[in-house]
Amino acid sequence: MYRLLTAGDFHSLYECFLEAFSDYQISLQMTEEQFERRVIRDGVELELSAGAFDGERMIGFYMNGRGMWHGQDTAYDAGTGVVPDHRRRGVAIELFEFIAPRLKERGITQYLLEVITSNERAVALYRKVGFEETRTLAALRANAAMKTTADIEGVSIRRMDEPDWEVFCANWDGEPSWQNSMDAVERSRNQCEIIGAFVEEKCVGYGIVFKPSGILMQLGVAQPFRRRGIGRRILASLSRDKLLKTNNVEERLKGTLEFYRSCGFEVGLRQFEMIRTL
């Protein structure tokens, strides 16, 4: 049986998520509280999500968020999974065929997701149901905790209470992915820390970390102030001797990837960002 989810399905969704990803390429095991934080950050709406059931047991799901993406009302697949003992039975495709028209009925015009490039079975599934790749994204992890760096003359590093999006966006070389977007930061503001770099009270760089998981959601430095150690200083302030990781850095941004490597980050995996018109 396939149906849309409700708030009452949250615990079952959590348990199904753990089971479905128990043998995943990376560990996605987490507490129910951590799972709830992830759901909030990704903008998941249970009434736009679907579950597959064998009797009372949830055995598969599409967990969807909703928001604007490139000017279109978009559903974001924040997680799709089928428990191991129900795989290779067509559950994922049938569940997609169930949810897609219902998203369209609600005015959603496109479906967005990310999938690990080496997960050939999942990539093939998404291509089969009409998704197309839009860009390749890299996930990086620090191989050692960053130590506090020396002060930079004329630059003050301090915590910011609120994001200044007009300034922050001007520092982007590429658009953040859904999970690192402005909306994602705003949805999880009470779980984020923002560090800014200032020259004569002008913000010339910033970083935002999602504290529960140590994920660096955004980092940017204004063009005229790059290669002065400001980005590294921001990272060190956010790290505080903890390992940071950053998801979904565009592969085409060679300079950005090289900066992270110079700071001790290594690429752990790559993902395709994919979109399907509904």
pLDDT of residue 108: 98
pLDDT of residue 166: 96
| pTM of the shown model | 0.92
pLDDT of residue 97: 96
Cα–Cα distance, 19 to 61 (Å, whole number): 11
> Which burial class, exposed, middle or buried, applies to 151 when counting CB atoms under 10 A from its CB (0-12, 13-18, 19+)?
exposed
The single residue listed with the structure tokens 């790059």 is 226
pLDDT of residue 73: 98
Taking the alpha carbons at both ends of the chain, their separation in whole angstroms is: 23
Task: Write down all domains in the chain, each with its CATH number in brackets.
Answer: 2-108 (3.40.630.30), 140-270 (3.40.630.30)
pLDDT of residue 216: 96
Which residues are registered as beta bridge partners of 11? none
Cα–Cα distance, 48 to 275 (Å, whole number): 17
The single residue listed with the structure tokens 């003992």 is 85
Element (H, E) at 113: strand 110-116
pLDDT of residue 98: 97
| Local mean pLDDT, 10-residue blocks, the chain (278 residues) | 97 96 83 95 97 96 96 97 94 96 97 96 94 97 80 93 96 95 96 96 96 94 95 91 89 95 93 97
Paired tokens of 171 = 């520092």
pLDDT of residue 205: 97
User: Between the CA of residue 40 and those of 33, 36, 187, 219, what are the distances in Å?
Assistant: 11, 6, 6, 21
pLDDT of residue 146: 76
At 39 the three-state DSSP class reads helix
The single residue listed with the structure tokens 């989810």 is 5
